Amino acid sequence: MKNKLFLAMSLCICIVSSYLYVHAQEVSTEDMLDRCMNIGQEFLNDYYYTIEMKQDLDMSKYSIKDEVGQYIKLKNKIMKEVSEKKYGEIAYTFTTVSCYNYRFLDDGIEIIFNVSVRNKCSGSDEVNESLQQVRLGFNYYKDSIVINDYFEYTDFDKYINYLQAKEADSDKEKYNNRLIFTDELIAIVEKVYNTVYKKVIL
């Protein structure tokens, strides 16, 4: 009788422990989503502000995968020159970032953000606005969150994506609106900058 009672109590403890563990995991997952959203919003605010105001992007504030950070830094530099050519001197800029969609991955979270950038040129009352979507990938482990993927659904990233897929030997499906961050990607961006953007747009 005592053995049966002991087994029953042990089973109850296991069930309760399992429930608490699963519940804790759910809370932790939702909390991690909020943290990734906050990091993404802050990063994108900084990214677009530095482009319009021609300031340096301080990437040391964020944990970013090296290859991804290299691409973002180079693109940020190019977009500053494009903005300078298009708008001239900006008096002020205001960026609004919100979550459009997200999905959980095996090793992280992928979030698509809506981004609205409004700026006013010096000497003009006109306010210019641009709208775009940006996908950021986040890899997380305990308290560490790393930005490990980036794609802006604009002509620039789509064109770079097309060129990278064109040079791929196989498995072109993986390049569907997704950059593969390699040294070859940086070489493609630099070539596009020097042969297209620098000569035609700039």
Q: 140, 123 in Cβ contact below 8 A?
A: no
51: Cβ contacts below 8 Å, ≥ 6 apart: 76, 79, 80, 83
Flag whether 94 is in a domain. yes
Residue-wise pLDDT for 74-104, tens only, equals 999 999 988 888 778 888 899 999 999 999 9
Is 197 among the domain residues?
no
The residue among 113 and 9 whose pLDDT is bigger is 113
In a domain, 13, yes or no: no
The CATH number of whichever domain residue 66 belongs to comes to 3.10.450.50
Give me the pLDDT at residue 21, please.
41
Integer-rounded Cα radius of gyration of the chain: 23
What whole-number distance in Å separates Cα of residue 144 and Cα of residue 84? 36
Give the range among 49-53, 129-133, 198-202 with minimum mean pLDDT: 198-202
Given CA atoms 128, 115, 44, 192 in this order, what sign does their dihedral have?
negative
In tens, the pLDDT along 144-177 reads 899 999 999 999 999 999 999 988 766 667 788 9
Assigned domain for 201 exists: no
Mean pLDDT of the 188-198 span: 85
pTM attached to this predicted model: 0.81
Counting Cβ atoms within 10 Å, is residue 35 exposed (0-12), middle (13-18) or buried (19+)? middle
Asked if the structure places residue 56 within a domain, the reply is yes
Residue 118 in domain: yes
pLDDT given at position 26: 45
> Tell me: the pLDDT tens digits for 100-151?
999 999 889 999 999 999 998 888 888 889 999 999 999 986 678 999 999 9
Q: Return the SS3 of 93.
A: strand
Is 140 a domain residue? yes
Residue 189 lies in a domain: no
The domain in which residue 128 lies consists of 28-150
Q: Can you tell me the distance from the alpha carbon of 29 to that of 22, in angstroms, rounded to the nearest whole number? A: 10
Mapped onto helix, strand or coil, the DSSP state of residue 45 is helix
The Cβ of residue 181 has, within 10 Å, a number of other Cβ atoms equal to 20
Q: Is the pLDDT higher at 54 or at 2?
A: 54
Q: How many domains does the chain have?
A: 1
